[in-house]
Structure 1
């Protein structure tokens, strides 16, 4: 499929033609050659060519100033910048005819090592390590004769591929992005959003290192040694690239280095930088829970609408804590109770009506800081933290149901689409380390998602509830609170950022100060009154000040001496405190484990609502000095070995395991996977290509169209549709449903959808339908409060949705389950875990039909230019472009947009035929 030429340059900004020309001429002299040497043989590989992976847009994420200017002026890109984007995009049109033999047309062969004929370069940044890069993708294959050398090489290769991005994120992790990269509104928004979640001081970062050294045992000591060697490799590349003038050109564009004199610095990395980086990754992908204040507000709205008893029932039915109809990853009947509704709630601290006020963050803004337009671009997306991430997905089938008798897996994380990617590919081979796969840039001392010698593993975001909101009672004044009977002062944390205009960012010079009040129960988020008492609502997560702890589990996953079967894999993932669903496959077994430090809550505490900050309601065994507590034992975490199949798309883990937020009900995007994989398993003889087909067929399907539209049409077609406009819309939707409800091009590169009118009608209809169906019965106040808990829609083109425009991930958050249950109640069908009331048409079938037809007629009349209003990259009415995935620029080089596919960013296809 041809790729579309980008319509705009990246977020590094526009350079005047004369300046660009002069710098281009200068920068052409600043590119260093890559040394070439002999290729060394790599260790044995038990995958026998049956492992593959893909990570768009490409491995190379660094560009010199010459590269950046050439990209802007000529559209050229450095080698391996976008060579994985085309194969990734082409699967949407090629999956129907996929065979095992053609998988590597759409994925990379992820065998260990590089065949001699495919060696592009071999370099040795020091004598005990070589970095071999292959011709096809440029992925670094790092082999060390010593462990230190292996890690040094990993750091050197990481800096070669992602130095600028790593530097950005270590500054994000300190709340200092605007001072480093310019005061654009997006830069400020990003650092504010992150620092609110993890306002760490340098002492906080160092304390995590100290904790690992003091309590991590031999593996902790090894992890710190590995990390230091990794940093040494990064710094060696910084020194070499700076003196050789082939460092990333963004340092020139942001004013850190002078293009002519080479004056300026690229600060070396240190251990605390890795903690800052880890805290960013943890905040993006490895947390769960929170939102208790908003839950309390919607409960109060429900009680105001219906009274306390009935309102609570209504709220609980929308909360769907443990919905019996929800698709669960563990479906063998095993239950893992956690964070459920207590029989009698204790310690609840619900706010007084109208008293909640968000805690301010920004103070003393001057100059450019007063220009707060969200259109102002930054070096990173300003909504990186505020938008939700669809971290997915996994399809794993046991050997009992495959053609070969060996397990088959297609899995990977959906970390968003960026240029360069947040992840990078690498292979690590050295003493105690043997793995290939993806690692977050700057944290690549180990492979975090990938394969070992005879096993592979991956993760999806679990987001179980490990974050609680506490109401700390104020005393003396607004900055003192009651802690275990004593009036103590809050800790004031401040960060002042200032900046000047740069070539990359013309925002006027300015500065501002961020301020957060921190308590033993975490940072203050809101102020309110509870029963007339002044309180501060704080948020505390179990991984707060413990981002470094997970390094032990990743070290074990990379160690072939540790992981050798399903049980040892589960033991390794137990040492990861981020909230992830982990999946495993080797030649004999499959396995699943849900990781995270799940706090043991006091009896009667309801994890869905704020609780009083009193000793009686603290986490059991909680130590406020170290933020450690008693955690649920591994046996109580959802887990399984050799279930017939596993699917995960951020859905419910198991029966009894309460979802942290709203939306895990009868219809979930995981159903798109579950239905397809269940059918494959029932037939038997599953192959790698069959499982890839199932994944990508789901990736192109509109969840509303497959799982809800047939029920809506049944209500509508209960009587003849006589209105011509309504009849046309019904015919279009019926045809689309019969064709599989796909959002798919008519032909490769056409940029036109099949059933385009039906897709447009559905996109326009869904928000109108939900509002027309529910708002009359709920009332405006409660409807608004519930839509704050769970957005109504998240179609690919829904820029108002929680993942934003052009994000790829779609249909995770929405009211599909509510509509499904409500319509089935109208139809008189059985409903497990029904809504407390029937809303469509007040529960009357004929009135409900009128609601559906009236809203459908409104939707059909909405022109495409209004459904798809256009943005800086798409014209109004361009349906394909509105859905399209954009590799959001994180540096000076841009990449092409591609057709929508709802699939992992990094993805593996694996089938091991043998084992050690």
Structure 2
């Protein structure tokens, strides 16, 4: 947070600290606001009764609300280990739950979550101020959350923008630059920055005219709500830009602007560019693409099919492909009752366009590289040494001794910024930032099974771990709006997940198929013979036209933050009516381009109306009105709702209506009858499935979701079968209900947390592995000891958890090491002999084999133990658990509903041979030293298992965070129970 405008209540313990000789130089800390005359009249708050139950409404969003740090705060952090106030106040609370969820009580929730009631008690007010006369912002002393109350709607929106600038300005700037494909020009040419902007520009490139068209469409097609949404955005941006102007003139803007070369530390020359409505579109496209996308991958699916048919023949190969695809496995865990058919493979497919073997050539969007971007340029490693981040008890700058504050003052006066050199050498956001994320979960229990008789909910989205967080907390009160919760920085004009007057809601990524791949014929405009090198295609009118080149040029030079040597390139995506070019290939010998078309492309801001409705207390009055509003969200999400009477689930997304015979799993011949019904190539509009076709349910006994298949018939991704991460939740909640347990917010939170430290492989699959092994005695004493170690761990709950905080190791550390080493070896040993090396490798490209806490997604052999430790937290979403599970049950002659075809892979179906495969691979794993299983990185020594699993917040600025224990859990989490309603 930054120095405030005129305050109504000013904190007496705060002082102003400036670099003395610099006159109007940078303020030392964004939270050290001078108390200016309290002349404005306080805005009258909009009064709503709070219906939180006695157990309270709670939420948590680590590390902290304050995501801005001035230059001197960054220098203080780097030199003396200081922390800006409220930058990390929620991190230890979040982490402590892992160690103390056993026997959790409702009173104890306050130790791990903050109060999410409306308003702030007078005794808890830290600052109260008015950025303009029609809005008041109150920040609480404990965490600095902005509670924004407007006497006008524009005032509320202005306040939301102003508070966003105070708490996330530099992050917002980073996100809009990613949306423009200009991250390297803004933040530096680090390889991580290059990879990130290339990923985004290949999936959501837009011209400024494209973005403006989308904005205008919301107003023209959205009626009064669409017009109101644009008015809200304009007022929000006025607030953001007002803060920029004040912070710039007052010189208390985020210090990263100096470190990246956009502002001068001494003269204050340079500019912080104002935000525009097209920036909102860019950020929305990035957020929606990461968390609300789905589908695609048809080219790899076609390659896998071709490999199956090459190995087993056309008929059996097709049958086996369907079995491994598991688009509608009968054993898959689901979240709602009933069948909701969508995106299923047709009995008589038409318009398939399968690439010729070996012909696919991915299109590279990078051109004209020079300097450090050139292909032959040496890779530049980080020049900074990783140091331990100061922990929660670190002082703020104003709490430093006088001599240390004087030293910081001198550094600022002289422009000595060496202490912050290289903070972005590895990139401002991590490699793989745009990978699909899936750690969001939700647990809702109906009042029939709770102690109070009111429903309870524990839920939240996973958005990764960053410092500052991509999300920010706020409360918005004004005409037509009443909500508190989390919003993405830069698009926080509405609360996107949180609570209303007497209801709460959250989302999980759904990932259903809203993206298809089309094969378009290549041509030459001069009539000559086309090749895969041609850059023209046949459009829907039958004309040969050039692909539209969407280009952005980036150049960079070394800065204090990123020392990457001078370089640059041009990024060019090729766009057709049928989407963006992914690759070139031949189909039946003819040259084509494969393009990907997402139903939300060119319609990135259509969802704004749904979010607006979520915040409207006059509209959301029941589970039914909520589900109707959720249908207006175009992105692929699962929405969860709770009030004092009801729980509800609905899946959202612009699900295109595909014409009869269209196979969503395969590339589509663009000129066939297959495709999207009612599709408009100009606007990318199409017919979408009605709300009734989306999985939904109100008031079952319970609802749990962990990015799993929402309902039977609703086609899901690869390997969504008998074992899924959601089983960790479903088994616990359903088991407790069967035992007659009456849930409270505390007991449901404990259930969530236990599942969040469980190893899915150990809980669900290792018992079957042991069952095969137990068919005979293990002769090798050392191997028998390893088997018993695994059994003991599984019998104790299969948890990856220290016996107590700071124990320094897991309770079953060796069994965990063995399983981490064993799984990728096991999968290859079990399946590669039967599949053959080529088919096995192609299948691992379609779905990775493992996702352990210290592993990562993609790269090399997916799921292998030597992929590095990204410290991302999320685990066990993607893997071959169902394949291993079904194959072993088949070997054991157990009933399997939905086998892997007519073939058995482990030991070719012979139980004894399968047992040998398991023991041989286990012996290899047991002999693998910890230094190889956990090879170490800049944070951890090789072999340090506990450190390898830790979650580390990626710094998107100059303030680092300390590592926390591994936990498979939402970033932002809500714990809610309402005892009444309107």
TM-score per shorter chain, which class?
Answer: over 0.9
Partner residue in 1 for 2:273: 267
Q: 1:228/1:717 Cα in 2 relative to 1: closer, same or farther (>3 Å)? A: same
Q: Once the 2 structures are TM-superposed, how far is the Cα of residue 26 of structure 1 from its aligned partner?
A: 6.9
Q: Once the 2 structures are TM-superposed, how far is the Cα of residue 486 of structure 1 from its aligned partner?
A: 2.5
Q: Distance in 2 between matches of 1:195 and 1:230?
A: 26
Q: 1:372/1:89 Cα in 2 relative to 1: closer, same or farther (>3 Å)? A: farther
2:102 corresponds to which of 96, 100, 103: 96
Of stretches 684-693 and 40-49 in structure 1, the one that deviates more from structure 2 is 40-49
Deviations 1:498-553 (A, max 9, x none): 11111101111111111121100011010000000100000001000111100000
Partner of 1:547, secondary structure, is coil
Work out whether residues 24 and 65 of structure 1, in 8 Å CA contact, stay in contact via their aligned partners in 2. no
Q: Distance in 1 between matches of 2:156 and 2:220?
A: 25
Q: Distance in 2 between matches of 1:514 and 1:62?
A: 31
Q: Once the 2 structures are TM-superposed, how far is the Cα of residue 879 of structure 1 from its aligned partner?
A: 0.3
Work out whether residues 194 and 385 of structure 1, in 8 Å CA contact, stay in contact via their aligned partners in 2. no
Partner of 1:281, secondary structure, is helix
Work out whether residues 768 and 889 of structure 2, in 8 Å CA contact, stay in contact via their aligned partners in 1. yes
Partner of 1:847, secondary structure, is helix
Work out whether residues 381 and 426 of structure 2, in 8 Å CA contact, stay in contact via their aligned partners in 1. no
Q: 1:768/1:434 Cα in 2 relative to 1: closer, same or farther (>3 Å)? A: same
Partner of 1:548, secondary structure, is coil
Partner residue in 2 for 1:589: 646
Q: Distance in 2 between matches of 1:587 and 1:623?
A: 43
Q: Distance in 1 between matches of 2:200 and 2:23?
A: 35
Q: 1:772/1:792 Cα in 2 relative to 1: closer, same or farther (>3 Å)? A: same
Partner residue in 1 for 2:76: 70
Deviations 1:695-728 (A, max 9, x none): 0000000000000001100110111111122111
Partner of 2:611, secondary structure, is helix
Partner residue in 2 for 1:734: 791
2:956 corresponds to which of 861, 877, 890: 890
Partner residue in 2 for 1:404: 452
Work out whether residues 326 and 668 of structure 1, in 8 Å CA contact, stay in contact via their aligned partners in 2. yes
| Unaligned 5+ runs, structure 2 | 1-18, 383-424, 525-529, 864-868
Q: Once the 2 structures are TM-superposed, how far is the Cα of residue 123 of structure 1 from its aligned partner?
A: 1.2
Aligned residue runs from structure 1 range 819-898, under 5 A: 819-836=884-901, 837-898=903-964
Q: Once the 2 structures are TM-superposed, how far is the Cα of residue 306 of structure 1 from its aligned partner?
A: 1.0
Partner residue in 2 for 1:565: 622
Q: 1:385/1:30 Cα in 2 relative to 1: closer, same or farther (>3 Å)? A: closer
Q: Distance in 2 between matches of 1:503 and 1:24?
A: 24
Q: Distance in 1 between matches of 2:672 and 2:308?
A: 30
Aligned residue runs from structure 1 range 415-814, under 5 A: 415-476=463-524, 477=530, 478-484=534-540, 485-614=542-671, 616-659=673-716, 661-682=717-738, 683-799=740-856, 805-814=870-879
2:298 corresponds to which of 269, 292, 297: 292
Q: Distance in 2 between matches of 1:783 and 1:222?
A: 53
Deviations 1:426-459 (A, max 9, x none): 0000000000000000111000000000000000
Deviations 1:318-369 (A, max 9, x none): 1101011011001x3x110000110011000000001000001111111121
Partner residue in 2 for 1:7: none
Find out whether 1:816 has 2:881 as its counterpart: yes
Q: Distance in 2 between matches of 1:84 and 1:473?
A: 55
Aligned residue runs from structure 1 range 235-384, under 5 A: 235-330=241-336, 332=337, 334-370=338-374, 371=377, 373=379, 375=381, 377-384=425-432
Deviations 1:482-504 (A, max 9, x none): 22322222111111111111110
Q: 1:131/1:831 Cα in 2 relative to 1: closer, same or farther (>3 Å)? A: same
Q: How many residues align?
A: 894
Q: Distance in 1 between matches of 2:852 and 2:178?
A: 29
Q: Distance in 2 between matches of 1:48 and 1:122?
A: 27
Work out whether residues 188 and 382 of structure 1, in 8 Å CA contact, stay in contact via their aligned partners in 2. no
Q: 1:709/1:374 Cα in 2 relative to 1: closer, same or farther (>3 Å)? A: farther
1:85 corresponds to which of 66, 86, 91: 91
Partner residue in 2 for 1:124: 130
Partner of 1:708, secondary structure, is helix
TM-score by structure 2 length? 0.89
Q: Distance in 1 between matches of 2:440 and 2:911?
A: 38
Work out whether residues 299 and 667 of structure 2, in 8 Å CA contact, stay in contact via their aligned partners in 1. yes
Of stretches 405-414 and 472-481 in structure 1, the one that deviates more from structure 2 is 472-481
2:67 corresponds to which of 47, 61, 67: 61
2:210 corresponds to which of 195, 204, 208: 204
Q: Once the 2 structures are TM-superposed, how far is the Cα of residue 34 of structure 1 from its aligned partner?
A: 5.4
Q: Once the 2 structures are TM-superposed, how far is the Cα of residue 800 of structure 1 from its aligned partner?
A: 5.4
Find out whether 1:164 has 2:170 as its counterpart: yes
Q: Distance in 1 between matches of 2:366 and 2:783?
A: 51
Work out whether residues 324 and 833 of structure 1, in 8 Å CA contact, stay in contact via their aligned partners in 2. yes
Work out whether residues 185 and 372 of structure 1, in 8 Å CA contact, stay in contact via their aligned partners in 2. no
Aligned residue runs from structure 1 range 384-399, under 5 A: 384-399=432-447
Partner of 2:506, secondary structure, is strand
Of stretches 84-93 and 177-186 in structure 1, the one that deviates more from structure 2 is 177-186
TM-score by structure 1 length? 0.96
Q: 1:796/1:908 Cα in 2 relative to 1: closer, same or farther (>3 Å)? A: same
Work out whether residues 524 and 538 of structure 1, in 8 Å CA contact, stay in contact via their aligned partners in 2. yes
Deviations 1:229-286 (A, max 9, x none): 0000000000000011100000000010000011111011111110111011011111
Please tell me the root mean square deviation across aligned C-alpha atoms, in Å: 1.8
Q: 1:907/1:241 Cα in 2 relative to 1: closer, same or farther (>3 Å)? A: same
Q: Distance in 1 between matches of 2:756 and 2:933?
A: 22
Q: Once the 2 structures are TM-superposed, how far is the Cα of residue 746 of structure 1 from its aligned partner?
A: 2.3
Q: Distance in 2 between matches of 1:417 and 1:559?
A: 30
Partner residue in 2 for 1:4: none
Partner residue in 2 for 1:13: none
Work out whether residues 361 and 584 of structure 2, in 8 Å CA contact, stay in contact via their aligned partners in 1. yes
Q: Once the 2 structures are TM-superposed, how far is the Cα of residue 76 of structure 1 from its aligned partner?
A: 1.3
Q: Distance in 2 between matches of 1:815 and 1:375?
A: 34
Q: Distance in 1 between matches of 2:773 and 2:43?
A: 67
